Amino acid sequence: KQPLTITKLKKMKQSGEPISMLTAYDYPSAKLAEAAGIDTILVGDSLGNVVLGYDTTIPVTLEDMVYHTRAVARGATNTFIVADLPFMTYRLGVETTLRNAARLMQEGFAHAVKMEGGADIAEEVSACVRAGIPVLGHIGLTPQSVHQLGGYRVQGKLEQEARQLLEDAKALEAAGVFGIVLELVAEPLAAYISSQLSIPTIGIGAGRGCDGQVLVYHDILQYSDDYKEKRMVKTYADIGATIRSAIGAYVSDVKTRAFPAQEHVFPMDEEIIKGLYG
């Protein structure tokens, strides 16, 4: 299978072929996502929540993103990889933004970066694009702004909000993004925005009118001990329960001496040991 390019992504929108995107954060998750046939991997700063245990994505650093993106790139050598620019790394001017985005590509081996924001980051987006850095936009619920937004609620339900999201999407397209993530946007608005753009939209909690879908690896697999139902997520396995019971069985085997068994140990000539007895 040929890896995706931003040219192919735009063609997929034109031909109506849905784009599948999943997050991954390390070597084995990336390897499995690629083997399963995912179109594109997002190294999301959601890693702050799902693999580092923070409450929000705000504490995630550029170093965290570089480290995890490198691991993903080693696992998925034939897949288009997008990496998130974390909180504040693209808000301190064009030069800093370029330097930070470059690190995700040169040290993290990402093929593209993602930034949260609309018209307000058009300048940073176009500077990256001019420099050869493909950018994926992200509007709607933007988790890095959770404290400004006042919580994780659906965006675009009011007319003023809806108009602003449409304007932001158009401003991002004009600035040169190759696609836009729409997060927690009411379905009719996400569908309308998608119809007004020539670049693909990739939705999460944004409904059936988007050109693609993205979900978080740990969410679809229930890969944690405290997984909570989220309306926007469909779960495909209960890996958390599988892991918990497997580890429980291992602990029990050690305690009862059921492990290691004959087949797990390395024998040797007993005479040599007897020689040690003296």
Positions marked catalytic: 183
> Which residue stretch of 39-47, 86-94, 168-176, 212-220 sits at the interface with Na ion (rule: CB under 5 A)?
39-47
Find the residue with minimal CB distance to ligand KIV. 44
Is the CB of residue 182 less than 8 Å from the CB of residue 189? no
If phi > 0 it is left, if psi is from -120 to 50 it is alpha, else beta; for residue 229 that is: beta
Q: Is residue 211 close enough to count as binding ligand KIV by CB under 6 A?
A: no
84 is in an annotated binding site: yes
Q: How far apart are CA 224 and CA 193, in angstroms?
A: 34
123 is in an annotated binding site: no
Touching ligand KIV, residues 89-148 (CB under 6 A)? none
Minimum distance of ligand KIV from residue 34's CB (angstroms): 17
Q: How many residues bind ligand KIV (CB under 6 A)?
A: 11
In sequence order, what are the residues at sequence separation of 6 or more whose Cβ sits closer than 8 angstroms to the Cβ of residue 197?
Answer: 169, 170, 173, 180
Burial degree of 98 (CB within 10 A; 0-12, 13-18, 19+): middle
The four Cα atoms 160, 165, 169, 175 give a dihedral, to 10 degrees, of 80
216 binding ligand KIV? (CB under 6 A): yes
- Phi and psi for 165 in degrees, rounded to 5? -65, -40
The identity of residue 81, as a single letter, is I
Q: Pick one of 9, 112, 214, 221: the residue that binds ligand KIV (CB under 6 A).
A: 214
Tell whether residue 45 is a contact of Na ion (CB under 5 A). Answer: yes
Region 29-58 residues binding ligand KIV, contact defined as CB under 6 A: 42, 44-46
Which of the listed partners (Na ion, ligand KIV, none) does 181 bind, with a CB threshold of 5 to 8 Å by partner kind?
Answer: ligand KIV
| Binding flags for Na ion, 46-85, as an x/- string (CB under 5 A) | --------------------------------------x-
Say if residue 107 carries a ligand binding annotation.
no
SS (H, E, C) 122-173: HHHHHHHHHCCCCEEEEEECCHHHHHHHCCCCCECCCHHHHHHHHHHHHHHH
| Between 189 and 216, CB nearer to ligand KIV | 216
By CB under 6 A, tell whether 84 contacts ligand KIV: yes
Distance, CA of 136 to CA of 84 (rounded, Å): 9
Q: What is the rounded distance in angstroms from the CA atom of residue 62 to the CA atom of residue 90?
A: 11
Task: Return the range that interacts with Na ion (CB under 5 A); candidates 45-53, 68-76, 177-185, 251-259.
Answer: 45-53
Rule CB under 6 A: say whether 23 interacts with ligand KIV.
yes
Q: Could you give the CA distance from residue 19 to residue 200 in angstroms, rounded to a whole number?
A: 9
Q: How many residues of this chain interact with Na ion, rule: CB under 5 A? A: 3
- Report whether 114 belongs to an annotated binding site: yes
Q: Beta-strand (E) ranges in the chain? A: 19-23, 40-43, 80-84, 112-114, 135-140, 179-183, 201-204, 212-215
For the bound state, the minimum distance from the C-beta of residue 255 to ligand KIV, rounded and expressed in Å, comes to: 39
Please give the annotated binding residues, written as ranges. Answer: 45-46, 84, 114, 116
Which residues lie near Na ion (CB under 5 A)? 44-45, 84
Which residues lie near ligand KIV (CB under 6 A)? 23, 42, 44-46, 84, 181, 183, 204, 214, 216
Please give the annotated binding residues for 3-methyl-2-oxobutanoate, written as ranges. Answer: 45-46, 84, 114
